Structure 1
Amino acid sequence: MKLIVGLGNPGKEYAGTRHNAGFHWIDRLAEVLGITLKSEARFHGTCVRIQQNNQECWLLQPQTYMNASGRAVVALSQFYKIHPDEIMIIHDELDLLPGEIKLKKGGGLGGHNGLKDIAAKLGTQDFWRLRIGIGHPGERSAVTGYVLHPPGKEEAQLIEQAVEKGLETWPLIVQSDCQAAMLKLHTKT
């Protein structure tokens, strides 16, 4: 992987919301690695380049709001000639329960506006996704309010557990061993 993108909305009012699960994952990874993302106007986000195990990788948090996430992803990926199959998007997933986390490449976009914009701007859906379960409110009409609000205490703990489980796969992800990362994430223990 050459580009890891955590999706979310910028601003303090969105910081603890379900929709910012991708931002949270990147924040936790930066904390574990002892690094800081810096604002980069030309990439429409905060980012940092890291070196690990002789691998170079970018971490990015678009600051364009969720619906325009593709602008940041394309700006950085085109500048550094990063192919879509070398990109991993970390995002909230309505179709997974809180506490669940799954990794996949390609496939449908599940109505996620951030993914839709990224796929449209890249011209393909053939990129990796680390999907952090946030659950579904039950009614389609309630989704917007649901994702833009913080989860309850129990749900927040489950989402945090999923984030931590995802972080355990980081050494595999940075080495592009996504098959092993999938096996680790998807195997019940």
Structure 2
Amino acid sequence: MTTTDATTGTDAPWLIVGLGNPGPGHAANRHNVGFMVADLLARRIGGTFKRGQKAQAHIVEGRLGSPGPGSRRVVLAKPMSYMNLSGGPVTSLRDFYKIPVAHIIAVHDELDIDYGVLRLKIGGGDNGHNGLKSITKSLGPEYHRVRFGIGRPPGRMPVADFVLKDFSGAERKELDYFVDRAADAVEALVTEGLERAQSTYNS
């Protein structure tokens, strides 16, 4: 028995893409907060990321939400192509799983939002984010975004240096809480729809 999504009228799975760069040297970078959220979601559904056969990405499949008709089938993905080439793996996964663009969520760092603040939306520009730029070039802009604020770099530090640095010691004290809240926001978006998720998590 399939469950139809009340928000879109389709039983297609959701593709949740955590954006980041592969490799242990990037694991704790600000730019990799999308990977952190994806890792937490994978633990919640009891899955382990494995290399996908049809895309340059690590994936895990499962269901999000309370057991029963309200849960949703999801494909979690972490592109292994580096941030600025994220569109290729996302497109391959969309085609393989036959996922409509309206069922794709990109979870990413956002410079123009204070640290830890979330903003959920659908569509819009890329604001200079190379991962979004690549996805939009491949899919168009009408996919969901869960934007995780990391703030602006201090002083005259170049943006590229700032996003590729690890979170500071002070930031790390609250990082687990904020990542957990971002995972909650993704789950709410999938199971309750954008408007209800925005009303709860757009802080």
Q: Fold conserved (TM > 0.5)?
A: yes
1:107 and 2:132 matched: no
Match of 2:14 among 2, 8, 22: 2
Residues matched between the structures, number: 186
Query: What is the CA-CA distance between 1:55 and the residue it aligns to?
Result: 2.4
CA RMSD of the aligned region, Å? 1.8
Q: Which runs of 5+ in 2 are unaligned?
A: 1-12, 65-69
Query: What is the CA-CA distance between 1:176 and the residue it aligns to?
Result: 5.2
How far apart in 2 are the matches of 1:11 and 1:141?
24
Partner of 2:151: 135
Q: Is the Cα–Cα contact under 8 Å of residues 90 and 132 in structure 1 kept in the other structure?
A: yes
So what's the TM-score if we normalise by structure 2? 0.85
Question: Kindly tell me: are residues 125 and 138 of structure 1, through their superposed partners in 2, closer, same or farther at Cα, counting changes over 3 Å?
Answer: farther
Query: What is the CA-CA distance between 1:157 and the residue it aligns to?
Result: 3.0
1:23 and 2:39 matched: no
Q: Is the Cα–Cα contact under 8 Å of residues 98 and 158 in structure 1 kept in the other structure?
A: no
Kindly report which structure 2 residues correspond to 1:12-161, keeping only aligned pairs within 5 A, or say none: 12-52=24-64, 53-122=70-139, 124-138=140-154, 142-161=158-177
How far apart in 2 are the matches of 1:10 and 1:45?
10
Q: Is the Cα–Cα contact under 8 Å of residues 98 and 159 in structure 1 kept in the other structure?
A: no
Q: Which runs of 5+ in 1 are unaligned?
A: none
How far apart in 2 are the matches of 1:147 and 1:8?
10
Query: What is the CA-CA distance between 1:127 and the residue it aligns to?
Result: 0.6
CA deviations over 1:158-179 (Å, ceiling 9, x no partner) = 4433212122234422325121
Identity over aligned residues, as a percent? Answer: 37
> Which runs of at least 4 in structure 1 moved beyond 4 Å after TM superposition?
138-141
Question: Kindly tell me: are residues 170 and 115 of structure 1, through their superposed partners in 2, closer, same or farther at Cα, counting changes over 3 Å?
Answer: closer
Question: Kindly tell me: are residues 152 and 171 of structure 1, through their superposed partners in 2, closer, same or farther at Cα, counting changes over 3 Å?
Answer: closer
Query: What is the CA-CA distance between 1:35 and the residue it aligns to?
Result: 1.2
Match of 1:164 among 180, 190, 203: 180
